[in-house]
Amino acid sequence: MAASVSYLSSILFKTLREAPADAETRSHRLLVRAGYVRRSAAGIWSWLPLGKRVLDNVARIVREEMDAIGGQEVLLPALLPREPYDVTGRYTEYGNLLFRLTDRRGGGYLLGPTHEEIFTQLVKDQVTSYRDLPVTLYQIQTKYRDEARPRSGVLRGREFLMKDSYSFALTDEELAAAYGRHREAYIRIFTRLGLDHRIVSAVSGAMGGSASEEFLAPAAAGEDTFAHCPACGYAANTEAVAVSVPAADPAGHPPLEEVATPDTPTIETLAARLGVPASATLKNLLVKVDGEITAVGVPGDREVDLGKLAEHLAPATVEVVTAEDFAGRPDLVRGYVGPQGMAGEAFRYLADPRVAPGTAWVTGANKPGAHARYVVAGRDFEADRYLDVVVAEPGDPCPACGAGLNLDRAIEIGHIFQLGRKYADAFGLDVLGRDGRPVRVTMGCYGIGVSRAVAALAEQTADERGLCWPREVAPADVHIVAAGRAVQTELARDLGERLGAAGIRVLVDDRAGVSPGVKFADAELIGVPTILIAGRGAPEGRVELQDRRTGVRFELPVDDVPTRLRKEIR
Ligand code: ATP
Ligand code: MG
């Protein structure tokens, strides 16, 4: 990168003492306070000079590693015609997440949330022979999603920068190889960025296809939870964790029996009345899946994770039932629903794997004030489908080895996906094979949240004094603070120019009328890895060097600074 010297007195820059009132996460507070980003509207952000540098550094690292695996960079439009998204059904499936618009002639458009359709069309147009495959195309481009709760600053924007790539191959083996190359590139990218990350299994339901993994950056501010097994190393997004419970013989249980249970509106009161643990009761949550009433049966001591349910059932929509849904349904007795005689008839029944055939439960008797016991799965009711959609809890059994799982919060920074032929089928993407016959192409898609990675890094590296960037993404290598007197400012500027000429990226705080205390605090807030202070020793040609991360400080002669810094930067 070209070395540069910039002066805080002349760049567009202002720090804030106070974080915005609505800022919930540390990265949001600090990126705003340090003058990196400014909010334009909910989930829509401007990048100011220092922030733009960090964003560019992240994008550069992503680009270098994508180029290194043979990715070809392109730039497709963000404003897209709706027709291709009608072909795959995603124009409607995306629901409220999609920004839809109309041009002056009434034509339908959308702002691209991700580009599988457009890349598939491009390759169909450009590639005709097996000789041109495999190919990987990528772009670093602005994406649009009308997120329900755009919080946390640039962690979850409605407009955000993504690197998205798409691999096209003839065979499953070639697809697996492209996937593997992306996986390796992602590991290099996140390692270079200095992001602590984990690779976890992800749900691949909605997109179709087989293998899917997420790259997660552990952080308290993360909206994802991942499970990891201390015994065997298994790691998965909790959305993808699925226990399996072996079926048992449903015979041997007493016959189903109804019991009057007045005044037991909750699982707790019911369990206490019948003298059973909550885990022996079967709770049936009613939802609407694409408008159809569906009951989700889970043990009474567990909660249904609606996000996980939606993830598994996508693109179907999942809504909670409302009072109106009960209106025309006297058979659905609110608070007393049970699957016996109902599953597959009155509603579709999705059951947790813990409700395996052969297990017996206490559940609603489908009459007000009554429950039933010895309700046996596989005898008194059948599930239409088994699906693990409960909120995962620490200590749940590892699906791989059975040991207790640990849970942690994390930010999704990347996602890699073997899509298979879903999009190629939708658009009829074939190429001529070796034998002259058409072959259907198989695809992978791979994303990195470039702007989100900036916030994730801030989350992981900041301390109580401010941002604290790893050197490769920092907006400068060194931040020179001129304490205020003329001799100090002169020394700071001279040193800045000298370092700049030596190829070092320099930020000089030469602002007049700002107290040294404020300048030091701002230097720590901005988070450049090395801080140089032209202070008391300036008349004797001495400066102080402070490591932003460790806080270690020492004095050295100005003439030793270039050598010293070059050592730090290597
Ligand atoms: P999330 O579950 O966080 O909504 P996603 O799974 O919908 O993300 P993908 O479609 O996999 O996201 O997009 C690829 C990458 O783009 C994600 O791994 C993430 O890093 C980033 N990303 C997705 N949505 C946003 C957003 N609203 N703001 C910033 N980055 C995002
Ligand atoms: Mg994802």
Which atom belonging to ligand 1 lies closest to the Cα atom of 145? 27
Q: What is the mean pLDDT of the chain?
A: 94
Which atom belonging to ligand 1 lies closest to the Cα atom of 413? 20
Segment among 206-210, 316-320, 337-341, 361-365 with least mean pLDDT: 206-210
Closest Cα to atom 11, ligand 1: which residue?
Answer: 415
Beta pairing, strands 318-320 & 282-289: antiparallel
What is the CA(410)–ligand 1 centre distance, in A?
13
- Residue 520 forms part of a structural domain: yes
pLDDT at 204: 64
Indicate the number of domains in the chain: 3
Q: Are residues 379 and 342 in the same domain?
A: yes
Q: Are residues 369 and 446 in the same domain?
A: no
CB-ligand 1 contact for 387 (6 Å cutoff): no
Q: Assign 210 a pLDDT band (cuts: 50, 70, 90).
A: low
Considering only residues 157 and 18, tell me which one the structure prediction assigns the higher pLDDT: 157
Answer whether residue 493 shows pLDDT above 70: yes
In tens, the pLDDT along 241-280 reads: 988 888 999 888 999 999 999 888 788 999 999 999 999 9
Residues contacting 169, CB < 8 A, separation 6+: 133, 134, 175, 177, 178, 441, 442, 443, 444
What is the CA(38)–ligand 2 centre distance, in A?
26
Q: Are residues 74 and 129 in the same domain?
A: yes
pLDDT at 1: 41
Answer whether residue 2 shows pLDDT above 60: no
CATH of the domain at 104: 3.30.930.10
What is the CA(211)–ligand 1 centre distance, in A?
18
pLDDT at 315: 83
Q: Residues 506, 534: contact at Cβ < 8 Å?
A: no
Q: Are residues 288 and 349 in the same domain?
A: yes
Domain with 517, as residue range(s), is 5-11+476-569
CB-ligand 1 contact for 114 (6 Å cutoff): yes
**What size, in residues, is the chain?**
570
- Residues 335-356: what's their mean pLDDT? 93
pLDDT at 24: 87
The pick from 39, 143, 162 for probing ligand 1's pocket by mutation, whose C-beta has the most ligand atoms within 8 angstroms, reads: 162
Considering only residues 204 and 200, tell me which one the structure prediction assigns the higher pLDDT: 200
| pTM given for the model | 0.92
Q: Which of 320, 310, 288, 317 is nearest to 96 (CA)?
A: 317
CATH of the domain at 369: 3.90.960.10
Q: For residue 22, is it left (φ>0), alpha (ψ between -120 and 50) or beta? A: alpha
User: Diameter of the chain by CA atoms?
Assistant: 95
- Residues 171-180: what's their mean pLDDT? 97
Q: Are residues 127 and 196 in the same domain?
A: yes
Helix, strand or coil, per DSSP, at residue 94:
coil
Q: Assign 209 a pLDDT band (cuts: 50, 70, 90).
A: low
Closest Cα to atom 14, ligand 1: which residue?
Answer: 447
The pick from 413, 415, 418, 459 for probing ligand 1's pocket by mutation, whose C-beta has the most ligand atoms within 8 angstroms, reads: 415
Distance in angstroms between the alpha carbons of the first and the last residue of the chain: 14
Beta pairing, strands 212-218 & 442-449: unpaired
- Residue 219 forms part of a structural domain: no
In tens, the pLDDT along 403-441 reads: 999 999 999 999 999 999 999 999 999 999 999 999 999
Q: Are residues 75 and 176 in the same domain?
A: yes
In tens, the pLDDT along 287-318 reads: 999 999 999 999 999 999 998 999 889 888 89
- What percentage of the chain reaches a pLDDT higher than 90? 86
Q: Assign 151 a pLDDT band (cuts: 50, 70, 90).
A: confident
- Burial of residue 164 (CB within 10 Å: 0-12, 13-18, 19+) is buried
